[in-house]
Amino acid sequence: MKARLLAATSAAALSVAGMASAQENELTLCWAAWDPANALVELSKDFETQSGIKMNFEFVPWPNFADRMLNELNSGGQLCDLLIGDSQWIGGSAENGHYVKLNDFFDAEGISMDDFAPATVRAYSTWPKGEPNYYALPAMGDANGWFYRKDWFARPEIQAEFKEKYGRDLAEPKTQKELLEIAQFFQGREIDGQTVYGASIFTERGSEGITMGATGALYAWGFKYENTPGKYDMEGAVNSPEAVEALEFYKELYKTATPPGYDNAYMEQSLDAFKSGQVAMAMNWFAFFPGLYADPNTGGDKIDFFVNPAQNVAASTLGGQGISVVSYTDNMDGALAYIKWFAQPDVQKKWWSMGGYSCHKAVLEDPDFVNTAPFAGDFLEAMGGVQDFWQEPAYASLLLAMQERLHNYVVADQGTAQEALDGLIADWTEVFEDEGKL
């Protein structure tokens, strides 16, 4: 492997066009199946033209994405030359040798991580967290945000009734508690002859849904995974009074302001509830916002967007991914050529224009960036305060424990928030003890 990497680094000094001119030279890029992936297919046609490398794509639906790709990595499979994998995979993929460490390549090619937003470098690229060891290039910035029926909010009769009840104008919520009030205000209301509901949120148990939704509230209240980063000292952080209050809040939001039967919902269900006119507000990843804005029925002047509201602190749940070179590739030169091409500022600008979320400062720090989309400013704000789940090699066990504890409390009415978080510490302590970290 070392010899292959040294050879690849030397070869990387060549131009993209000169790296591979043979038409039979191919790469397969693996990612989740969603709108940004379709945009990347179009963007990558420029790479094919410049390099002579044929791009193939393996896109897996989100509910199956993690299992499919992690099984592929753990088996040493050669399906993927390039993988846009979730931020939580970095630790395990680095320690298990699945991803190529890119430091020497970046140095040889003049690719600087200083050119990318710091939060995305830390979350998508580094292991251990924050250390200058890079296993991915930031590829797809993302966070959990909100959107709402701007046309409903603007109706004079609704405005008047809301102001009479709450003593303030109906507008984008500035706090989590304001969000709850708005959602409860719309719950069961009749609009245009249809009964509507307050909000669609994440409650799904099987993969990551309820964790990604509830952390939007937890982070906003000040939730931390550890008292001291890297020490795994969770008592008093995971189960702090603020964390308990936040989890109780999320349960109240679910119980009093969501559509009926909404007990196992994630990305698709949230989008469907909004697009079908069932809800006044919805949470989902910024990645979907271009498609939402373009929707002929509920987009355009009927929709607007806002960042996850603060409560005690301004914070958003991190999504997004980096792009990594899979160490088992049989086309190392071509895979590195793609990374070099994708890192170029002009390519990053085109990526944003096509519906991808660039992490490059040449895009994000452009003075006109906030005017390029109705959600661009909210995206910048969200990425300035993102927080992420554990990125430990054992993240899957950690995530499954949180999924079960949260779903049992929020959806299944089992126990109290305090008991759920205390139990979560017990679960996580066992995992870290098995890992030799406690």
Interatomic CA distance for residues 410 and 250, integer angstroms: 7
89 shares a domain with 12? yes
The helix-helix angle for 241-257 and 417-434 (nearest 10°) equals 120
132 shares a domain with 50? yes
108 shares a domain with 214? no
SS3 content of the chain, % helix, strand, coil (to 5): 50, 15, 35
Q: Rounded to the nearest 5°, which phi and psi values hold at 116?
A: -120, 155
188 shares a domain with 67? no
Unique residue bearing structure tokens 């009769």? 157
Pairing verdict, β 321-325 and 194-195: unpaired
Is 399 contained in some domain?
Answer: no
Is 164 contained in some domain?
Answer: yes
223 shares a domain with 108? no
Is 223 contained in some domain?
Answer: yes
The verdict on pTM exceeding 0.85 is: yes
179 has pLDDT over 60: yes
pLDDT tens digits, one per residue of 27-39: 999 999 999 999 9
DSSP state of 156: H
41 has pLDDT over 90: yes
Alpha-helix runs per DSSP H in 360-438: 361-364, 376-383, 395-410, 417-434
286 shares a domain with 242? yes
pLDDT tens digits, one per residue of 93-128: 999 999 999 999 999 999 999 999 999 999 999 999
Report residue 7's pLDDT band, with 50, 70 and 90 as the boundaries: very low
State mean pLDDT over 56-79.
95
Is 407 contained in some domain?
Answer: no
How confident is the model at residue 19, as a pLDDT?
Answer: 45
Is 410 contained in some domain?
Answer: no
50 shares a domain with 38? yes
153 has pLDDT over 90: yes
H or E element: which one contains 27? strand 26-32
Is 404 contained in some domain?
Answer: no
How confident is the model at residue 4, as a pLDDT?
Answer: 36
The amino acid present at 409, given as its one-letter code, is Y
Interatomic CA distance for residues 101 and 281, integer angstroms: 42
178 shares a domain with 50? no
H or E element: which one contains 325? strand 321-325
Count the domains in the chain.
Answer: 2
How confident is the model at residue 12, as a pLDDT?
Answer: 42
pLDDT tens digits, one per residue of 329-382: 999 999 999 999 999 999 999 999 999 999 999 999 999 999 999 999 999 999
172 shares a domain with 63? no
15 has pLDDT over 60: no
1 has pLDDT over 90: no
First to last CA, the chain: 32
Identify the CATH number of the domain in which residue 56 sits.
3.40.190.10
253 has pLDDT over 60: yes
Last residue of a domain, one of 317, 336, 353: 317
How confident is the model at residue 31, as a pLDDT?
Answer: 98
pLDDT tens digits, one per residue of 308-328: 999 999 999 999 999 999 999
Is 433 contained in some domain?
Answer: no
Structure tokens that stand for 299 in this block: 């987009």
How confident is the model at residue 13, as a pLDDT?
Answer: 40
Least confident of 8-22, 279-293, 395-409: 8-22
Last residue of a domain, one of 317, 347, 367: 317
* Domain of residue 129, residue span: 2-142+319-387
Greater pLDDT, 10 or 61 = 61
245 shares a domain with 182? yes
User: pLDDT > 90: what percent of the chain?
Assistant: 94
Interatomic CA distance for residues 114 and 98, integer angstroms: 25
Last residue of a domain, one of 387, 409, 427: 387
206 shares a domain with 58? no
Give the chain's mean pLDDT: 94
348 shares a domain with 305? no
How confident is the model at residue 5, as a pLDDT?
Answer: 40
User: pLDDT > 70: what percent of the chain?
Assistant: 95
How confident is the model at residue 17, as a pLDDT?
Answer: 45
11 has pLDDT over 80: no
Is 413 contained in some domain?
Answer: no
